[in-house]
A and B are shown apart, each in its own frame.
Chain A
Amino acid sequence: MREKTIKVEVNGQLYEREVEARRLLVHFIRDDLELTGTHVGCDTGNCGACTVLYNGDAIKSCMMLAIQADGASIDTVEGLAQDDQLHPLQQAFSETHALQCGYCTPGMLMSAKYLLDSNPSPSEWEVRKAIQGNICRCTGYVNIVEAIQKAAGND
C-alpha cells in the first residue's frame, strides 16, 4: 500500500491520520500533528534533535517511517510539562543553564527522560553515555550533564 490510515497515541492523545508510506515519523509529528517541539536537525540520524520515545524507547524519528508507527504510543517533548508545572528535567535545564540556542533541547530532554525512566540515579558517565546520540553545539555539554544529574537528585 502507498497510503494508509494510521492510529498513533501521542502524549496520551489518540490521533488517526492518513499518511503516505514514504512520510518520515518526524514530519508526521511536526507537520501533520503540528507538534513542532520535536526538531529536525541533521536529518541523517546523527544529531538526535528528533528524539522521541517510541513505546517507551528513545529513537530518532527521522530514521523511521510514520506508517511503521501504526498502533504505537509516542511521547514527545510537549508531553513533559503538566499544565503549568515544568517536568523536573525541564526545571533543572532552566536552573542549570543547560541550553543556549535551544535547538537540541527537546531531543536532549527525551534522551534524558529515557535514561531516568530506567536508571533514576545515573553516574556522570552513564549520563554522558545516554546523551551520546544528541549533539549540542552551544554548551559543551557540561551544564546538560549537570542538569540531568540535578533532575535525578544526584547533584
Chain B
Amino acid sequence: MPNSPRPRAFCTKLVGDFTSLVGASRADRWPREGVAWFNLAVLLNEVDYARPESVAEALELLAQHDNARALAGGQTLVNVMKQRAASPDLLVDLADLEELTPITVAADGGLELGAMATLADLIGSTEIQERRPILGEVASRIADVQVRNRGTVGGNVCSNDPTNHLPPLMVATGATMTIAGAGGTRTVAAEEFFLGVYMTAVGPGELLTKVSIPTAGGTGDGFFSVTVGNEGTGIVNVAATVNGEARVAIGCVSAVPVVVTSRPDDDSVREAVRSAGLDPPSDVHGSGAYRKHLAEVLAMRAVAHARSSG
C-alpha cells in the first residue's frame, strides 16, 4: 500500500471509462424505480474472486492463473484496479490464511512478521515495542487510522511503491523475506528483494509469507522522512541502523532503496550520502536537487537517532 493513496489523473480516467461501464451493465442492473441511473456505475473491471483456506491452496490458484493477483489489505490494489493500472482476472484473497497474521519472536530473538499482519498490528505489538520499536513507530506514520487497519506488511513491501516507508526500513534493518512457491520456500535478503518500481523478487505463482527482522543486539534504529502533509506521500524517507558502523537506506530517490554505509558521525554520513551519486527524480512535490539535499539531512538525523537509541 502507498503511504497515501494518490489519485493520479484519476478523474480523466473515470470520465473516459464511464460510458463503457454503464454500457456494459447487464439489463437486470438497469434502474430500479426511484434509483438514479448513475448509482449503477461500477468502477472495477470484471474479476474472479477466490478465498483459499491454506497457503498451499493460494499458491495453486496463483500458479494456475497467469493474471492472478494476491489480495492482502487491498489498500493499494483496489485503487490500482480502479485506475486500470492493473486488471487481474482473479483475486486471491489471503484474508483467511491465519498462519500469515502473527507477529512472533524467533528462537534467536529476532522478530517474524506474518505478511498479513496489518500496520495496526505492528503498532500494537508488545513484542515489537520490546525488541525493535522502530517498526511500530514507522507503521504509525503511514497514511491514517483506516488505512493502517487494513494495510499489511506484505502489501506495503510487495507493492514497492518507491515512496513507501517500509522498503527502506526493511533494507536498513537487514530483514529477510520468506517467499513460498510450488517448489517450497526460499529466503531473500531485503536488499535483493526490491527490484524496481512496483517490482519485487516475488515471482508469478509465488507469495511472500513472512518478513524476519534480526534481533537488535545493541543496534540502534532511526527513521526520518519529509512527506506531503503530516503523514502523506514520502518526498524522501531514510531509515538507519547503527552498530559500530552506520547503515542507511534512502527511499524515494530511486526505483529501490539506496544503501549507504559509513562511520556513524554526522560528517561521515553526509559525505557518504553526497558521494553516493544520487540522481533523484523531480516531480510536483520536490526537485531532484531538493531530494538530494533532504537525503543528506535526513540521513544525518536518522543516524543521530540510531546512535542515541542503541
Contacts and interface: CB of A to CB of B under 8 A. Distances in A.
A21 B48 contact: yes
Contacts of B39: 27, 30-31
Contacts of B79: 44-45, 63
B145 A133 contact: yes
> Looking at A4, A58, A62, A134, which has the most chain B CB atoms within 10 Å of its CB?
A58
A60 interface: yes
A63 B1 CA distance: 11
Contact of A22 (B47, B145, B231): B47
Contacts of B47: 2, 21-22
Contacts of A45: 5, 75, 78-79, 147
Contacts of A22: 42-47
A42 interface: yes
A130 B140 CA distance: 11
B86 interface: no
Interface string B112-152: 00000000100000000000000000000001111101100
Contact of A65 (B35, B74, B147, B230): B74
Contact of A31 (B14, B35, B49, B75): B35
B75 A63 contact: yes
B82 interface: yes
A9 interface: no
Interface residues of A, number: 36
Chain A interface main SS type: mixed
B46 A132 contact: no
B10 interface: yes
A119 to B, nearest CB: 12
Interface string B198-220: 00000000000000000000000
Contacts, number: 105
B93 interface: yes
B44 A24 contact: yes
Contacts of B304: none
Interface string A1-33: 110100000000000000011111001001100
B32 to A, nearest CB: 9
Interface in B4-49: 4-7, 10, 14, 35, 39-40, 42-49
B91 interface: yes
A151 interface: no
Contacts of A57: 120, 149-150
Interface string A41-64: 011111010010010011110111
Contacts of B95: 68
Interface string B156-184: 00000000000000000000000000000
B93 A44 contact: no
B4 A59 contact: no
B5 A67 contact: no
Contacts of B35: 31
B150 A65 contact: no
Given A20-B42, A68-B95, 14 more contacts: A21-B46, A22-B46, A22-B47, A23-B42, A24-B44, A24-B78, A31-B35, A42-B7, A44-B7, A48-B144, A48-B146, A57-B149, A64-B78, A133-B144
17 contacts: A1-B49, A2-B47, A2-B48, A21-B47, A21-B48, A31-B39, A44-B7, A44-B82, A45-B78, A46-B5, A46-B6, A58-B146, A68-B93, A130-B145, A132-B144, A132-B145, A133-B147
